[in-house]
């Protein structure tokens, strides 16, 4: 038996023989876009910090993937961070400064990629730039992904449990009030930031009656012609595009929106016939209201320093967690540019390159060495496993040796799931389970969205939904933050809702109690 086969069997055995619980995320996406992130948070984090997510498995089938982490490691890292921030409140300041430095280095390389005509580079230079981006992305993710340790899995959010332990005299309603206020984010997500900036731009246009008129008519060619008479406003719209062109990307879809896309978005704002100034000021004041509410709660219930330090950790980690998503989406945009260029040069279909790994790009580009049969096999189903020393990609016969059902923890049939309230409400309706990119187009207004976890591209679906239910938990998750911004009832941390319910089921969502029940 060769050493390579031994390594394969060893990593698969480690996954199959693990006795503990697996925490999992499921998203639409291709293997190439998640592979680098996995290396960053397993191998690079351990090399850089001496701790981290020492083992994970990523299973791909079709155009979606499920990422499995050991729940015990998440809890261990969360405990580590809480201990650090409570013993040294300046820890979070240093952590954030380090993140900003990593992000600045990454931004510099992304800008280099965006400003380079990849088609004129030699194979060697294209290869070097690809791995330059890959290295800076891995390095940044080794820090940014640590914020995921604040995620929760199970019937109760860890912060809710901590509050109950630290403040045992609180009644249930009081505990819920303290939890809801202290866990609320004190910043605008990048989704909300873009929305606010579009409102601001619409406000500037309102001051120019002739310009406002053509935007209300929504005639794109005429809008562009008239905008040229207002170079300062046109310049700010272009700046908005440069700041948010990536905001609707994911691990599966990559958009490169032109300025005309944002002109249409501004036209849609004028169609709503709202008082722009009132709406804009209301949105801006929301963050200040949350900050004030936190101070009132801390004073009213005499919240101790231990809890207030953890609240600060959550606030700062939420900011980093959100900006980390921006790094991922911009990286995926750049990777897409590289893979398109490599596809042109090698003749390998783009979809097959989506199932290559970063470690294979050098051979593909410089030696024209690749196995298209293997790529096609991976498209059907594959998995990769990382520990802090090695990695493994399996498909075909080898994939059958991996016990996928055990990773999911599939149990007997149930009709009720329990999670945590992210935004209160009592709703009945029809389910729409969204687990891959195709499901996005099927979501109808008024349905109850059930998914593993939401990411920025889910926002249009969340706006349609009567309620949102996710398997992934934690008050710093995208679903928790955006549902509160939208005022949509939301239950998070159900663990297995996509396995319990199917599209078309009728369910009752009692978000306040965190219960979702088939009716």
In a structure prediction context, what are the per-residue pLDDT tens digits for the chain, which is 519 residues long? 344 444 667 899 999 999 998 888 888 889 999 998 888 888 888 888 888 888 999 999 878 888 898 988 888 888 999 999 889 988 999 999 999 999 999 999 999 999 999 999 999 999 999 999 999 999 999 998 888 888 765 556 788 889 999 999 999 889 888 988 898 888 888 888 898 999 999 999 999 999 999 998 888 889 999 999 999 999 999 999 999 998 888 788 788 889 999 999 999 998 887 787 788 888 788 888 989 999 999 999 999 999 999 999 989 988 898 899 899 999 999 999 999 999 999 999 999 999 999 999 999 999 999 999 999 999 999 999 998 888 899 999 999 999 998 888 766 678 999 888 888 899 999 999 998 777 888 999 999 999 988 877 788 899 999 999 998 877 667 888 889 888 899 999 888 898 899 999 999 999 988 899 999
* pLDDT for the residue numbered 153: 55
In DSSP terms, which residues pair with 430 in a beta bridge? 506
Return d(Cα 261, Cα 244) in angstroms, integer. 11
β-partners of residue 449 are 432, 468
Start-to-end C-alpha separation, the chain: 55
Q: CA 248, CA 333: separation in Å to the nearest integer?
A: 10
Pairing of strands 506-510, 467-470: unpaired
Determine how many CB atoms are found less than 10 A away from the CB of residue 505.
17
Cα separation, 9 vs 392, in Å, equals 10
- Can you give the three-state secondary structure of 404-431, one letter per residue? HHHHHCCCCCCCEEECEEEECCEEEEEE
pLDDT at 475: 67
pLDDT at 449: 97
For residue 143, report the phi and psi dihedrals to the nearest 5 degrees: -100, -50
Token output for 372: 């298209």
CB-based burial label for 168 (10 Å; 0-12, 13-18, 19+): exposed
Round to whole Å and give the CA distance between 334 and 111. Answer: 9
pTM equals 0.86
Look at residue 451 and give its three-state secondary structure: strand
| Per-residue model confidence (pLDDT) at position 280 | 82
For the range 410-415, what are the long-range contacts, defined as Cβ-Cβ under 8 Å and sequence gap of 24 or more?
410/499, 411/496, 413/500, 414/500, 415/500, 415/517, 415/518
């Amino acid at each position: 038996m060769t050493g390579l086969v031994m390594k394969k069997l060893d990593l698969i055995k480690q996954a199959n023989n693990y006795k503990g619980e697996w925490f999992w995320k499921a998203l639409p996406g291709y293997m190439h876009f998640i592979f680098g992130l996995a290396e960053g948070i397993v191998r690079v984090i351990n090399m850089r910090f001496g701790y981290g997510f020492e083992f994970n498995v990523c299973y791909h089938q079709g155009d979606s993937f499920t990422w499995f982490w050991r729940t015990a490691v998440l809890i261990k890292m969360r405990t580590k961070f809480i201990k650090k921030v409570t013993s040294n409140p300046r820890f979070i300041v240093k952590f954030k400064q380090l993140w900003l430095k990593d992000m600045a280095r990454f931004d510099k390389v992304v800008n280099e990629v965006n400003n380079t005509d990849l088609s004129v580079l030699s194979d060697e230079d294209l290869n070097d730039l690809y791995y330059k981006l890959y290295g800076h992305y891995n390095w940044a993710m080794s820090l940014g992904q640590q914020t995921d340790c604040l995620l929760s899995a199970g019937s109760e959010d860890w912060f809710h449990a901590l509050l109950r332990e630290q403040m045992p005299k609180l009644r249930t309603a009081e505990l819920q009030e303290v939890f809801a206020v202290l866990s609320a984010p004190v910043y605008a997500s990048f989704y909300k930031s873009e929305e606010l900036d579009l409102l601001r731009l619409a406000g500037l246009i309102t001051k120019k009656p002739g310009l406002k008129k053509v935007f209300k008519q929504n005639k794109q060619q005429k809008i562009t012609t008239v905008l040229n008479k207002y170079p300062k406003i046109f310049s700010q719209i272009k700046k908005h595009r440069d700041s948010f062109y990536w905001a609707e990307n994911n691990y599966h879809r990559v958009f490169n929106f032109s300025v005309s896309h944002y002109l249409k978005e501004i036209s849609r704002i004028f169609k709503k016939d709202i008082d722009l100034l009132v709406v804009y000021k209301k949105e801006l004041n929301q963050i200040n209201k949350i900050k004030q509410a936190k101070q009132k709660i801390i004073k009213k219930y005499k919240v101790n320093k231990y809890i207030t330090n953890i609240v600060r950790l959550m606030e700062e980690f939420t900011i980093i967690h959100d900006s980390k998503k921006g790094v991922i989406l911009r990286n995926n945009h750049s990777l897409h540019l590289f893979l398109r260029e490599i596809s042109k040069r090698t003749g390998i279909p783009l979809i097959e390159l989506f199932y290559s790994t970063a470690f294979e790009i050098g051979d593909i580009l410089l030696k024209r060495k690749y196995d298209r049969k293997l790529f096609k096999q991976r498209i059907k189903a594959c998995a990769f496993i990382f520990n802090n020393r090695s990695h493994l990609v399996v498909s075909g016969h080898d994939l059958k040796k991996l016990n996928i059902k055990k990773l999911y923890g599939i149990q007997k049939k149930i009709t009720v799931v329990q999670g945590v309230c992210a935004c209160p409400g009592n709703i009945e309706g029809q389910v729409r389970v969204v687990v891959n990119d195709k499901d996005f187009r099927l979501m109808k207004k008024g349905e109850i969205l059930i998914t593993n976890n939401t990411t920025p591209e889910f926002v249009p679906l969340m706006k349609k939904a009567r309620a949102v239910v996710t398997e992934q938990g934690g008050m710093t998750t995208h679903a928790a933050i955006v549902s509160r911004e939208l005022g949509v009832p939301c239950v998070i941390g159900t663990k297995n809702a996509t396995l319990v319910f199917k599209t078309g089921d009728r369910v009752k969502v009692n978000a306040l109690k965190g219960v979702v029940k088939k009716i």
